[in-house]
């Protein structure tokens, strides 16, 4: 074989080997237990949402699928917006009011569940009187894009 072809084959083999090692590492990491107290969460301001903070539980909110907590100050209103990724959420405390465009807003107290497919226009409010905390599993990176009706 030509030297150039040999180098390409060696490079391809090395790349496949590295991919296999990384895959095995990811599978091994998935087998490890993760225990994290609430006091260990790192809260940061959510993008484009005044009065909202996020704490990632797993994954990477900037790069892909992840799970995160969101904390809303009581009375916080996030006007009509969308997310690229779909999100499945559970209300942990407080009362959230979710309004999907074209539908009557719904009050969701602690223990409630909601699912919003990516691209759905909606409003999000934490009812005044108490802060709200939700947990969400996101199918991709987190974003929040203001929308017009």
Distant-in-sequence, close-in-space partners of 4: CB < 8 Å, separation ≥ 6: none
Give the model's pLDDT for residue 31.
85
* Domain layout of the chain by residue ranges: 1-32, 38-146
Domain 38-146: CATH architecture, name and number where available: Sandwich (2.60)
Structure tokens at 96: 């959230």
Percentage with pLDDT > 90 across the chain: 74
Cβ–Cβ under 8 Å, residues 84 and 140: yes
Distance CA 137, CA 127 (A): 22
- Tens of pLDDT, residues 45-69: 998 889 999 999 999 999 999 999 9
Whether the predicted model's global pTM rises above the 0.85 cut: no
User: With contact defined as beta carbons under 8 Å apart, do 36 and 15 qualify?
Assistant: no
pLDDT at 37 over 50: yes
Q: What is the pLDDT of residue 48?
A: 83
């Amino acid at each position: 074989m030509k030297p150039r072809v040999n180098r390409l084959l060696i490079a391809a083999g090395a790349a496949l080997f590295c991919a296999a090692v990384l895959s095995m590492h990811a599978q091994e990491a998935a087998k490890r237990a993760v225990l994290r107290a609430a006091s260990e969460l790192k809260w940061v301001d959510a993008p484009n949402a005044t009065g909202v903070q996020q704490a990632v539980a797993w994954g990477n909110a900037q790069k892909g699928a992840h799970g995160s907590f969101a904390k809303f100050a009581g009375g916080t209103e996030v006007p009509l917006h969308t997310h690229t990724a779909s999100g499945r959420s559970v209300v942990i405390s407080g009362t959230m009011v979710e309004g999907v465009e074209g539908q009557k807003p719904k009050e969701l107290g602690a223990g409630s569940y909601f699912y919003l497919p990516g691209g759905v226009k909606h409003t999000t409010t934490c009812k005044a009187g108490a802060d709200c905390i939700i947990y969400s599993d996101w199918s991709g990176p987190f974003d929040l894009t203001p929308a017009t009706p």
